Amino acid sequence: MKWHRIYAMLRRYLYLYPRSVPRILDIFFWPITELLIWGFLTFYLRQINTSIPNVATAILGALVFWNFIQRSQQAVSIAFLEEVWERNLINIFVTPIKMTEFLAATLFVGVVRLILIGLSVGIAAFLLFQFNIFSLGLYLVPFVVNLFFFGWILGLIATSIIMRFGQSAQVLAFALTIFIQPFVAVFYPVQILPGFLQPIAHSIPATYVFEGMRSVLFKGTLPIENLVSATVLNLIWFSIAITIFFKMFAYVKDTGQLLKLVD
């Protein structure tokens, strides 16, 4: 990989953000709107039952963390789709840019998005609902890293499916995280799920992060096995996702479907 090509792609994507209202809405407006809905719900819960302040806090924390997954997933899949929509995909890959460099650029774009979303939602949550995400202490760092990494993995999977099946599958760029949300136990413990769904939940790295977050908020401690499980599963899923991605990329190149993506 050549870092100057990664940097060039990164600058290209970042130049688009200040000039694009949809991109600005995606970073600031939609996450804060969702925060307001759930934040007002937590206020209501506190009013009808003053004994559940930790539950209300856990809901807000889960919401902030869930945004990290959603936006990091979209950093990969939307970046790819934008090149398809603008009929620029072929122009990129006739240059010396490699797919690994393209993915690295989307990774860094995702980091920038993560910082901006984390700051905007974190500040809004503190000012409006007195929720301080930094109350999680040093656990915040491995939590966020694992969630971001898992979101990036989902982005690779969504992009692989889009490459294989074309623009008809582009809904996955926006909906893949919604499909898996019921199994990740974002707002409730895994034990709430039916028994036959719990193995699915335990196979998803993010589940252990949300379970760990609730343990920190309710008990003040984090079972270290939660972070170990999340990290190991992320590495396994990354190996699977990156293999599928490059196999799909090779397939669409060999069969000529890469050209059809922009038709």
**pLDDT of 57 above 90:** no
How many angstroms separate the Cα of 261 from the Cα of each of 88, 105, 163, 220? 10, 21, 7, 50
What is the per-residue pLDDT across 212-243, written as a single tens digit (0 to 9) for each?
A: 888 887 777 777 888 899 999 999 999 999 99
Rounded CA-CA distance 204/198 in Å is 10
Rounded CA-CA distance 59/106 in Å is 29
**pLDDT of 195 above 60:** yes
**pLDDT of 23 above 60:** yes
Q: What three-state secondary structure class fits 228? A: helix
At residue 52, the pLDDT reads 54
**pLDDT of 49 above 70:** no
What is the per-residue pLDDT across 75-107, written as a single tens digit (0 to 9) for each?
A: 788 777 777 777 777 777 777 888 888 888 888
CB distance 94 to 174 below 8 Å: no
In the structure, what pLDDT confidence band is assigned to residue 185 with cuts at 50, 70 and 90?
confident
At residue 252, the pLDDT reads 82
Structure tokens at 100: 């690994």
Question: What's the mean pLDDT in 196-222?
Answer: 87
At residue 26, the pLDDT reads 75
CB atoms within 10 A of CB 255: 10
CB atoms within 10 A of CB 163: 23
Q: Taking the domains of the chain in order of start, what are their residue ranges?
A: 3-260
In the structure, what pLDDT confidence band is assigned to residue 198 with cuts at 50, 70 and 90?
very high
Rounded CA-CA distance 250/257 in Å is 10
Question: What's the mean pLDDT in 127-154?
Answer: 83
DSSP 8-state assignment for residue 133: G
Task: Please report, rounded to a whole number, the percentage of residues in the chain having pLDDT higher than 70.
Answer: 93
The single residue listed with the structure tokens 């993915």 is 103
CB distance 5 to 96 below 8 Å: yes
At residue 163, the pLDDT reads 83
CB distance 35 to 131 below 8 Å: no
- 262 vs 234: which has the higher pLDDT: 234
At residue 203, the pLDDT reads 93
Rounded CA-CA distance 115/21 in Å is 19
Rounded CA-CA distance 121/36 in Å is 10
